[in-house]
Amino acid sequence: NLPSDATPVLDVTGKELDPRLSYRIISTFWGALGGDVYLGKSPNSDAPCANGVFRYNSDVGPSGTPVRFIGSSSHFGQGIFEDELLNIQFAISTSKMCVSYTIWKVGDYDASLGTMLLETGGTIGQADSSWFKIVKSSQFGYNLLYCPVTTTMTLPFSSDDQFCLKVGVVHQNGKRRLALVKDNPLDVSFMQVQ
């Protein structure tokens, strides 16, 4: 059941996130510390479609790729809530061949970078490497957490985040790539795409 104290995630205007709408994931910082999240081609990948989750090197320049948040409790009503298990999907038109390349997941361990990189190819609603959470990080921002579900019964909410890992940024071939990090998680907010 949806907890009575469930807190909705808000966009930059203070409106609750709506799973039917698309949003850009933007940095809470400006300048060189800023930059939107976008879908790009992973270095050395032989995937037929763009399959990496990146962040631009600055908030000056291109806008990020829109995403949709697909909550595990969406059958409880509209809204995306803090600490809710959810899937993140790039909201782009694509060929049938590339549809699975729009859903975020955590990839295999990358020994050269010492972490696991975020990529696409996940599955909506499955207990695999595609479950994330949004948690409040500051007055203005949120952090993304990767929360692998290790049981066959998936619950929309969990009060125990000990198995969740923070999403941050690592440098890969001159680009900022989203990855699992121990420190300095990515501080983000959400802007509705018009």
Query: At 118, which helix (H) or strand (E)?
Result: strand 115-120
Q: How many helices (H) and strands (E) does the chain have?
A: 0, 12
Q: Residue 138 has what pLDDT? A: 77
Averages of pLDDT over each 10 residues, the chain, 194 residues: 78 94 93 90 88 91 92 69 92 79 91 94 80 88 86 47 84 94 93 93
Q: Residue 45 has what pLDDT? A: 86
Residue 128 within a domain: yes
Output the DSSP codes for 122-181: --TTSSSTT-EEEEE-SSS-EEEEE----SSS--SB-S--TT-EEEEEEEETTEEEEEEE
Residue 37 within a domain: yes
Residue 168 within a domain: yes
Q: Residue 153 has what pLDDT? A: 41
Q: Residue 39 has what pLDDT? A: 95
* Domain total of the chain: 1
- In angstroms, the CA 140 to CA 14 distance is 10
Residue 107 within a domain: yes
pTM assigned to the model: 0.88
Residue 56 within a domain: yes
Residue 18 within a domain: no
Q: Residue 95 has what pLDDT? A: 72
Task: Provide CB contacts within 8 A for 4, sequence distance 6+.
Answer: none
Residue 184 within a domain: yes
* CATH number of the CATH domain containing 161: 2.80.10.50
Q: Residue 172 is part of which domain span?
A: 23-192
Q: Residue 3 has what pLDDT? A: 64
In 3D space, the residue among 121, 118, 148 whose CA is nearest the CA of residue 133 turns out to be 148
Q: Residue 59 has what pLDDT? A: 82
Residue 160 within a domain: yes
- Give, as one character, the DSSP assignment of residue 12: T
